[in-house]
């Protein structure tokens, strides 16, 4: 197992290098720079629209100094090497849009927010999705099964930002009991978490239904019935316990995808997480922050997949035997 983990860690490093190179090339291909965009928006220097020629010339001079500061005047391959060094040494310098804050500070402050929302959403999805899947499996081919399956398909197909609009109208206009924007109060967690939990609820319920139905067809279940086991013992003591093991394999990637999904949801609710900062960085051409967050998103996905594989290794004896 230790050798397997070392190999996976090696692949994670290689994949991160490939991801960083692709992200660097794509982000650098975006036309326009940070200060050019500020000039176009009329926000650079004076903060007002309609800059004069002299003011624009002054901004161009400032831009030249900024490009020297962040290594933008050197060849692209040197810029990439500088970026990789910054990632390895955790010294990526300040952000373009927030020059008084380093990229490490921004990520350290925003990641816990996005991670907390993702964990809360997946927790709600587990406690709702698993019972729904079990009910649908035990009531197979009944109106209950059809209703649950229909709901599962609907909520799984709707993007989280559409769900965000739905919960905003539901709990802020039709039933005005929750705040729609802001941060700092426990109530501010509710709507973003709800918006992001619907999709995982559908995925977990559908996966649980399929897994339980498959488990109920296995030989060991027929043996348990033949030995006179009660319905509760056979279903919950054997079938459901074993059907939960494959469910672990989707939880890690699901958490990663939830964190990625915060790009849209956090901006709608004013949540100061990685998603909102990534969106603002993209809109303002904050290249260093965009590249750093892209690598972080990729690292989260790979680490969660590794954790899931390790947990699955200990939960399923067949995996341990096959590795010997």
The rounded distance, in Å, linking the Cα atoms of 234 and 212 is 12
**What residue segments make up the domains of the chain, in order of their start?**
104-284
Using DSSP, state whether 126 is helix, strand or coil: helix
Task: Provide the residue-wise pLDDT of the chain in tens; the chain has 324 residues.
Answer: 777 788 888 888 888 888 888 888 887 777 666 666 665 555 444 444 444 555 455 555 545 655 665 555 667 777 788 778 878 887 777 777 777 788 888 999 998 988 888 889 999 999 999 999 888 888 888 898 899 889 888 888 888 888 888 888 888 788 888 877 777 778 888 888 988 898 889 889 988 888 888 877 877 777 777 777 676 777 777 777 777 777 887 887 788 788 877 878 888 888 888 888 888 888 777 778 888 888 888 888 888 888 888 877 776 655 554 444
The rounded distance, in Å, linking the Cα atoms of 158 and 167 is 13
Answer whether CATH 1.10.3720.10 is correct for domain 104-284: yes
Instruction: At 204, list the tokens.
Output: 């977990």
How much is the pTM? 0.78
Give yes or no for a contact between 97 and 289, defined as CB atoms under 8 angstroms apart.
yes
């Amino acid at each position: 197992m230790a050798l397997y983990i070392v190999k996976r860690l090696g692949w994670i490093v290689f994949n991160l290098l490939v991801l960083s190179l692709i992200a660097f090339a794509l982000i650098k291909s975006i036309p326009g720079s940070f200060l050019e965009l500020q000039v176009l928006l009329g926000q650079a220097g004076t903060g007002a629209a309609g800059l004069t020629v002299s003011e624009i010339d002054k901004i161009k001079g400032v831009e030249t100094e900024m490009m020297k500061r962040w290594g933008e005047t050197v060849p692209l391959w040197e810029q990439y090497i500088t970026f990789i060094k910054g990632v390895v040494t955790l010294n990526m310098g300040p952000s373009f849009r927030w020059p008084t804050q380093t990229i490490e500070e921004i990520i350290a402050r925003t990641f816990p927010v996005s991670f907390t929302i993702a964990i809360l959403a997946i927790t709600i999805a587990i406690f709702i999705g698993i019972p729904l899947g079990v009910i649908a499996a035990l009531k197979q081919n009944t109106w209950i099964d059809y209703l649950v399956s229909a709901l599962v398909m609907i909520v799984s197909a709707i993007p989280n930002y559409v769900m965000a609009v739905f919960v905003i109208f539901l709990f802020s206009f039709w039933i005005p009991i929750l705040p729609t924007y802001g941060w700092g109060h426990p109530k501010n967690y509710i709507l973003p978490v709800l918006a992001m939990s619907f999709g995982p609820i559908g995925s977990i319920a559908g996966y649980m239904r399929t897994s339980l139905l498959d488990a109920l067809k296995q030989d060991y279940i027929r043996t348990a019935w033949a030995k006179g086991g009660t319905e509760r013992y056979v279903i919950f003591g054997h079938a459901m316990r074993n059907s939960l093991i494959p469910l672990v394999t989707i939880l890690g990637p699901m958490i990663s995808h939830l964190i990625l999904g915060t790009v849209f949801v956090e901006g709608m609710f004013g949540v100061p997480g990685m998603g909102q900062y990534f969106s603002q960085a993209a809109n303002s051409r904050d290249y260093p922050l965009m590249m750093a967050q892209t690598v972080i998103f990729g690292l989260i996905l790979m680490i969660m997949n590794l954790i899931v594989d390790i947990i699955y290794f200990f939960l399923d004896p067949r995996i341990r035997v096959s590795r010997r």
